[in-house]
A and B are shown apart, each in its own frame.
Chain A
Amino acid sequence: MRREPANRISRKGLTVWRIHGVFYTLMVLVPAIAASVLAYIFEGPVWIYIVSAAVPILLGYLLIGLFPKIRWRRWRYEVRETEIELQHGLFIVKRTLVPMVRVQHVDTSQGPILRKYGLAGITVSTAATTHEIPALQMEEADDLRGRISALARVAEDDV
């Protein structure tokens, strides 16, 4: 059995995902509340209340609680001398291998929420594909970017 990649992404990444989950849940919660209010005014059937309560609760549990946790626990990466290995995925566990020789460039990027938590994401591009490590400590991300691009420069093609 192949060993899992060694490193995890930042614990704060989990928090960021949870915040995303809160946003998505709110997006459903607002119409649900609206539906309940309308049901109250127009004396709608009871099931509207049940649905408007159940859907946001379930969604909140999945998007804020369960999914980010599984995703975070699953997310692993390892940057070795000759390759980058990633493992991620909620329902489908994906393990990706990117040889250093194939790496064309590395970017770091940072959205507003990531910045607030001092995090950054790394994107590794080959000639054909791109691969992202979503949330790392900023210094760590910068370090890693430098390391990957240095390793990619010296990597030798086996032809």
Chain B
Amino acid sequence: MMSEERHRLHPITAVIELVKTLKEAILPLIVIVVANGLGREKTGNFWLDNISIFIFGLFIVFTAVAGLIKWKRFVYWFEDGELRIEHGLFVKKKRYIPFERIQSLDYTEGIFHRPFGLVKVKVETAGGSGKDQAEAELTAVTRAEADRVSLEIAEAKRLKRMPADGGVATAGTEERVAMPELPAEEETARTVFRMGNRDIVFLSAISGRIGLIFSGMAVLLSQFSDILPYELIFDELAAFVKFGVFLVALVVLAVMLVGWVISVVWTFLSFYGFQVAFDGDDLFISRGLLEKKRMTVPLKRIQAVRVSENPFQKMFGYRSVKVHSAGGGEEAGAVISLFPLVKQERVHELLGELFPELELGAELARTPDRSRPYFYRIDFVWMIPVIGLASWFLFPYGLLTLLLVPAAILLGMWQHRSAGWAISGRQLTVRWRGFALQTVYVFRRRIQSLQVRQTVFQKRKDVATVNASFKSGTGASVAPMRHIDRSDAERIMAWYDPQHRKGREAIPVNGGAAHE
């Protein structure tokens, strides 16, 4: 079973490394070339004039050679129930990862992988506190090799577990323990969710990535700030406003449209063929057209399920479902999009299939009417200075900032009306609204700590805010129950309190708020 044979990655690794380095270095390089090469007067010295191009060339050559050596030095093998990796350009590094620490293997197929039938394998470990977190990446191996790695790991895990459990357990239980550990990868996994092209287009159209691209373009435009005649524009502001508004609006619109199209195409490419498969223990999420990604999410690492619904999605009857997962890697950790866009009526059915224990239909308790002002009152702290300054310095247009007041109040009232919470057995359900409506389902055993907060103002109206913290990635995420009745807050605390729970199995939702 344990082959101690040394394995190499596919040679294409060197190319991938080169491209990756170039991709990261491209912006600074362009800046150097533009700043050095174009802006300066020619000295007549050929070497001096083209220095940036030489630097550029040297950089590529160096990176290519380094990539080649790195590939040559990188070996991995299996020994003593560990995945062992040896690598390093100048300093030789060794990394040994015990199989039982390996949580999942994620596959990615980039455009360089595709022609050769290769995948990038990312080894995710259970880096609990983030300290002893070990991770490894096999940049390019054949698909067959990747499957062999996962088989080897599954097999070794199984062998390791058998004698360890066999000592204490009876033959019957041993059988049951061993069974699910058999190499049951995606062959037995069932596809539970698949996104149609129409949905992906829709997702791309309404996704929030537009902001990202917009800011990218703004940065690009700001590069030309030297060329644009700002002073002229400023001096003739009045004239500009008269004639220019239409033009400016047109330009802005065009820029936005281009940005939007780019974002749509980009999102479409990365979400193409989105599907979720499930084998009872792990979720396999795969997506992407040019770069195919397959991510493994062990079910036992999932801390909470979040359903969100922004106004656009609501208009078309869609929702999106995310899960909070614990762990190290950026990809498999933190918040994972499980169903990026799903018809509202399918949410319960799909989640019920994956998380049968989850109570989705619990009736939520509303936030009391008397706490409505708290949802917008705090906004006046920043609104009053903003309005004051804007009205003073930008009179009369600054007075338009007064519109912030009704906007903030309306949003606050909306947030108040949307919020709710429920306790059903061992599960806490929290609903709140920032702008989009969020509903979090979390089990008590996943809540790391609970905090009840009360300001002097809240005390006056006998309300309090409760925050339930759960693990998300390597940090924490919070489910907030804002400005709820204080007795409800105490009830939630009593529900969470292990001492209070002792001896009593189930606490009725409407019972016993008093502690003593």
Contacts and interface: CB of A to CB of B under 8 A. Distances in A.
Interface of A: 1-3, 80-83, 89, 91-102, 104-105, 125-129, 131, 155, 157-159
A112 to B, nearest CB: 26
A82 B445 CA distance: 14
14 contacts: A2-B494, A81-B499, A83-B497, A83-B499, A92-B455, A93-B454, A97-B497, A99-B497, A104-B128, A125-B129, A128-B470, A128-B475, A128-B476, A129-B448
A128 B455 contact: no
Contacts of A93: 453-455, 459
Given A2-B493, A83-B498, A92 B448 contact: no
Given A92-B455, A158-B445, 5 more contacts: A2-B515, A83-B497, A127-B448, A127-B471, A128-B470
A96 B450 contact: yes
A98 to B, nearest CB: 5
A127 B128 contact: yes
Nearest to B498: A82
B496 interface: yes
B449 interface: yes
B496 A128 contact: no
B502 interface: yes
B514 interface: yes
A94 B453 contact: yes
Cβ-closest 6 pairs across A and B: A128-B476, A82-B498, A128-B471, A126-B448, A128-B448, A2-B515
B516 interface: yes
Interface string B424-451: 0010000000000000000011011111
A99 B472 CA distance: 18
Contacts of B515: 1-3
Given A89-B453, A128-B471, A159 B445 contact: yes
Interface string B501-516: 1100000000000111
Given A97-B497, A102-B448, A129 B453 contact: no
A82 B499 contact: yes
Nearest to A83: B498
Interface in B289-337: 326
Contact of B129 (A81, A83, A97, A104): A104
A45 B182 CA distance: 85
A149 to B, nearest CB: 15
A80 B454 CA distance: 23
A49 to B, nearest CB: 27
Contacts of A96: 449-452
B1 interface: no
B381 to A, nearest CB: 13
B207 interface: no
Interface of B: 128-129, 326, 426, 444-445, 447-456, 459, 469-472, 475-477, 490, 493-494, 496-499, 501-502, 514-516
A105 to B, nearest CB: 8
B499 A91 contact: no
A95 B493 contact: yes
Given A91-B456, A158-B445, A129 B516 contact: no
Contact of B449 (A3, A131, A157): A131
A11 to B, nearest CB: 25
Contacts of B470: 128
A82 B502 contact: yes
Contacts of A104: 128-129
Nearest to A97: B450
Contacts of A91: 455-456
Contacts of A101: 445, 498
A92 B378 CA distance: 14
B449 A126 contact: yes
Nearest to A131: B449
A159 B498 CA distance: 11
A15 to B, nearest CB: 26
A91 B490 CA distance: 20
A104 B496 CA distance: 18
A92 B454 contact: yes
B477 to A, nearest CB: 8
A1 B459 CA distance: 13
A89 B455 CA distance: 9
A126 B496 CA distance: 15
A97 B496 contact: yes
Nearest to A85: B497
A99 B498 contact: yes
Contacts of A131: 449
Contact of B452 (A94, A126, A129): A94
A103 to B, nearest CB: 9
Given A104-B129, A128-B471, A128-B475, A95 B451 contact: yes
Contacts of A94: 451-453
A92 B455 CA distance: 4
Contacts of B447: 102
Given A128-B471, A129-B448, A158 B476 contact: no
- Counting chain B CB atoms within 10 Å of each CB, which of A2, A80, A98, A102 scores highest? A2
A51 B283 CA distance: 64
Nearest to B456: A91
Contacts of A126: 448-449, 469
A96 to B, nearest CB: 5
A2 B449 CA distance: 17
B453 A92 contact: yes
Contacts of A83: 497-499
Contacts of B459: 93
Nearest to B499: A82
Nearest to B492: A97
Contact of A95 (B426, B452, B471): B452
Nearest to A96: B451
Contacts of B514: 1
B454 A158 contact: no
Contacts of B494: 2
A110 B455 CA distance: 30
A96 B493 CA distance: 9
A131 B22 CA distance: 44
Given A81-B499, A97-B496, A127 B445 contact: no
